[in-house]
Each structure stands twice: as C-alpha cells, then as structure tokens.
Amino acid sequence: MPHSSPGLARLAMTVLQPGFDGTAPPGWLRRALGQGLGGAVLFARNLTGPAQTAELVAGLRSENPAVVVAVDEEGGTVTRLEARTGSSFPGNRALGVAGDPGRTERVARAIGRLLAGADITLDYAPVADVNANPANPVIGVRSFGPEPGLVARHTAAWVRGLQSAGVAACAKHFPGHGDTVTDSHLALPTVHAPLGLLRERDLPPFRAAIEAGVRAVMCGHLLVPALDPAVPATLSRRVLTGLLREELGFEGVLVTDAIEMRAVAALHPPGEIAVRALAAGADAVCAGVSSPGGESVLALRDAIVEAVHDGRLAEERLAEAASRVLALAAWHAARADARRAAVQEAGVRETAPLPRAEAIVPGAGPVRDEDEELGMEAARAALRVVVADGRAQGPVLSGAPLVVDIAPRLNMAVDPSTPTGLLGALGELLPGTAGRTVVSGTPGLPELPDDRQVVLVVHDAGRHSRARELLAQAVRRRPDAIVVETGIPDEPIGAVYVATHGISRASSRVVARWLTGDK
C-alpha cells in the first residue's frame, strides 16, 4: 500500500462493497472488515437458508458492526435469498400489470421483513428503469412497465414498503437502463434519446424514489450522450453530481453497479474505475467478484489511496463518500434496534400495540404464511389469459401433462440456479407430470405424445427468434397446447395463452392452480 495515514486507508476501505465466495466469511474478508471495510454483497452462492444467512451476516457484523450488507432481492426473476426455490413474490412487471401501488408497497414490505430477519442493510432494488425498448435484453420484466407515470408510482411504493421494514432501498439503474439493446454485463450500452425525452421518460421514477426518501441509488454503466458524450454515467461528474445530486437533490448513498461488468471493465482497470467513479460522485464501489484471497479488494484500496496522494481524488470527496456509507449503516442500526425492542416488548406484553408499519415492521424473518398468500394474490392479479375459442374460463387439465420448457439463457442478473418452477408447481397438484427442457444447442423439440396434454413454457419468446420458431412448431403439432409466457407477452398462440409477466414461485403456483381448476 502507498505510504499514507491509517485514516486514509480506512476511508478507502469504507467505500468498498465486495462480493466473496463461500457460505461463511473467509479469513481475508474478516481481516478486511477489521480494517474498516464498509460493505459486503451477498449472492445466491453465499446463501443456503434463513438460519445460515442470518449466521453469515452476524459473522460479518462481529468483525465490523457498521458493515453495509447488501443483496439483490428484487422479487421475481432476481432473487438471492430464494434462488433455489424461486421468489415468493412476483417481480416488478407483474406488480405494474396488477396496477395497485398499495399492493406493491405491501409486497416490498414483506421482502423487507425477509431481509431484516437476516439483518441485511441494503437491497439493490427496486429497478426504476422504464422499459421503453421491447428488445431490451437485461431489464424486461424487471421493470414495472413501459410508461413513466406507472413506473414512478410503483417505484415510490416499493421504496416506502421496503424501508418500512428497516432495510434501505436502492433505486437503479440511474439515469435509466430501459431504452437499451445491450446488456451492460457484456458491453457498454448507449441510450440515444435526446435530453427532453430523458427528462420526460427516464427520470420521473428516480425523482419519485427520491421524494419517497430512498436511501440509495445505483448508477448504471450506460453511455448517455445527451448527458455526457464522453464517458459512461458511472464515471461522469455531469451525471452523478450535476444531475443526481445538484438537480434532483439526492443526498443518500450513490453506489456503482458491479465494476467487473464489461461495460466499464473493458475501458479501465478496476482501481481506475473505482477512482474515477468516486471522483464523479459515487460513494460506494460494488465489486461483485473478488479474488480468493481478497487481493483484489486490497488493490482497490491501494488505488484509491494512491489517487488521493496524486491529487486525482480529493481526500474531502473520499471522506464525504465514506461518511454517507457510515450514515446509511447508522440508519439501519437504529431501525434494527427499534425492531428488536418492538419484538421484545410484544413478547412481554402480548396485548401491547406494535409500531405503525410505516415506522418499523416487527416480526421480521423467513417468509410468513400471510406473506406467501400476498405473493400469490399479487401474482394472481397479474395473470392474463387468452382462450382460443373465446370461453370465459380456461380449461382444467384432465391429467398429468408434459411440460416443455423452451428456455433461453436468462440475462446475467438472474442467478442460474433460479427455476422457472411450473413443472414443480404442476407436479404438486398432478403427480406424474413430466418435463422436458429445450436449451441452446438442443436440436429440436422432444416428442409430444398424443396421450398427454402439453404445456409449453417460454420466456420473452417475442425477443428470441429460436424460441418463437420452436413454439410455433410445437403448436402446429399440438394445436391444443397450453402456452405459458413468463416474460413480456407476444401475440397469443395455442389453445390457451397464459401470461404471468415474470418468473417466481408465486406465479408458477398461481398458473398451476388456474390450469387445474384449483382457483
């Protein structure tokens, strides 16, 4: 490490939010936390269940009580705590289609209870992007929809609901990732919209989040020439400080998207990205992938310290960033203490009134039965069905069907272990249900037997030509097939066309119940 005061090195550690491998804190992470590491990001690879998650977080806090523990828990397709089963709650598109901001707030509050039960500080959610481009490969059903007003209303509701549980929300991906055709995990997307359109379409949800008191905002790795033609938003002082801070008035923590994503990793080494992002106005640097011994985290620290010594990063700017991170940790700690006190008081005096939900939600922990039912209710409200012969009621499956999942690779924000779930949901109700999966490289469709009904599951078929072609072939062979679209709906096809507007365990269970007549 460059020669510097321990205080400067500690400031540099405070603004880092790395991921790590394993289901317990590795030794390097414990040492880094003791040296002031300000954050840690949890992924599905770190989590096996509620008790283990809580134990893991407690292990992190034993080294640094003020650590900001963050996770991507959007509901729907992007879940870390429920990656192996699918989320108990539908995602944003389903909530937007259902159209009830009050329900959206309740769903977010339930997600907040799940995270608060593990003492998690920060949820990298909600997605506040307006999905203006149907060809968008990475946002899609993660957005509340294509209309700015709707997205703004539901974004604000989601922020209120999550934060009522004492978990900080993080609106993303500023200044708006909805009008792109490139996945920023793979390359740098460009938003070509003129300034006026950006202000009318992309910024309102972020304004709404700020007005709702959102504690954090995540910037996207996006080139937006109307705002800054030279550098991506992550590295742009015009975007992060000029627009978000000075114009929109955001005062909370500004965190980068993961710096290993190719959108920025192809431009600069990790340390340089961190320095430039901090200089532009970011407060926390997310590094989802770290080297096995933590050397990459220490290299980020050293690059930041060196930049301060070289005069490329003002120490005052670094200190400001660190103070915002610590303020977020203090906000969470105060609410966690209030929640624990409320639970203890409720246990001592069962008749005592609990705090208002808008202030703090007690009783946090694993998903409760009433929250499971809320997730089902929300998924049911988002379900849309088209029946070819015009009947008001969909068919009831007469026996165990064959479920064919025509599955493109979901975008890289989705954990690969997250299931689409319909096969399992139907199997619970109709034992003997069989399944086949058609993935990239599969030569064609499996045999579609005449003695079973067929359920075809697709995701964003309108955006994937191969999936659309296979779906059309299957329906030609079996005109009586039931089609379940879990992404953005396309033109209805098949005897029955069911749109869930997202992937979640809740959505799969609702579809299974509808198809079996168990409504």
In three-state form (DSSP H/G/I as H, E/B as E, the rest C), the secondary structure along 392-438 is CCCCCCCCCCEEEEECCCCCCCCCCCCCCCHHHHHHHHCCCCEEEEE
- 306 and 414 assigned to the same domain: no
- 177 and 280 assigned to the same domain: yes
In a domain, 351, yes or no: no
- 335 and 387 assigned to the same domain: no
In a domain, 347, yes or no: no
Torsion angle of C-alpha atoms 172, 175, 177, 178, degrees rounded to 10: 110
pTM of the model as a whole? 0.93
pLDDT tens-digit map of 55-85: 999 999 999 999 999 999 999 999 999 998 8
- 54 and 163 assigned to the same domain: yes
Contacts of 478 (CB under 8 A, 6+ apart): 448, 454
Give me the pLDDT at residue 332, please: 97
End-to-end Cα separation, the chain, in angstroms: 63
Asked if 185 is an active-site residue, the reply is: yes
Q: Is the pLDDT of residue 404 over 80?
A: yes
In terms of phi and psi (left: phi > 0; alpha: psi -120 to 50; beta: otherwise), the region of 213 is: left
Give me the pLDDT at residue 363, please: 39
- 432 and 338 assigned to the same domain: no
Q: Read off the tokens for 450.
A: 């005449």
**CA 514 – CA 499 distance, rounded (Å):** 12
Asked if 257 is an active-site residue, the reply is: yes
Mean pLDDT of 112-116: 96
- Domain edge (last residue) among 342, 372, 405: 342
In a domain, 204, yes or no: yes
CA angle at residue 435 from 434 to 438, to 5 degrees?
A: 155
pLDDT tens-digit map of 409-467: 665 556 655 666 899 999 999 999 999 999 877 788 999 999 999 999 999 999 988 99
In a domain, 453, yes or no: yes
- 403 and 302 assigned to the same domain: no
Q: Which of 154, 173, 185, 221 is catalytic?
A: 185
Q: Is the pLDDT of residue 1 over 60?
A: no
pLDDT tens-digit map of 252-303: 999 999 999 888 989 999 999 999 999 999 999 999 888 899 999 999 999 9
- 154 and 52 assigned to the same domain: yes
Q: What percent of the chain has pLDDT over 70?
A: 91
Give me the domain span that covers residue 483. 383-516
- 332 and 393 assigned to the same domain: no
Q: Is the pLDDT of residue 378 over 90?
A: yes
Min mean pLDDT across 26-35, 210-219, 431-440, 451-460 is at 431-440
- 400 and 473 assigned to the same domain: yes
- 413 and 484 assigned to the same domain: yes
In a domain, 362, yes or no: no
- Domain with 292 in it: what CATH number? 3.20.20.300
Report the candidate in 173, 159, 129, 135 with the shortest Cα–Cα distance to residue 147.
129
In a domain, 349, yes or no: no
CA distances from 126 to 67, 74, 504 (A): 21, 6, 16
Report the candidate in 288, 254, 260, 283 with the shortest Cα–Cα distance to residue 273.
260
In a domain, 348, yes or no: no
Give me the pLDDT at residue 350, please: 43
CA distances from 338 to 388, 433, 447, 495 (A): 54, 48, 58, 54
- Domain edge (last residue) among 342, 374, 409: 342
Which one-letter DSSP state was computed for residue 82? T
In a domain, 369, yes or no: no
Give me the pLDDT at residue 372, please: 94
- Let me know: does 206 contact 175? Beta carbons within 8 Å: yes
- 95 and 205 assigned to the same domain: yes
Domains in the chain: how many in total? Answer: 2
**What is the H or E stretch that residue 39 is in?**
strand 39-42
Q: Which of 72, 123, 202, 257 is catalytic?
A: 257
- 402 and 490 assigned to the same domain: yes
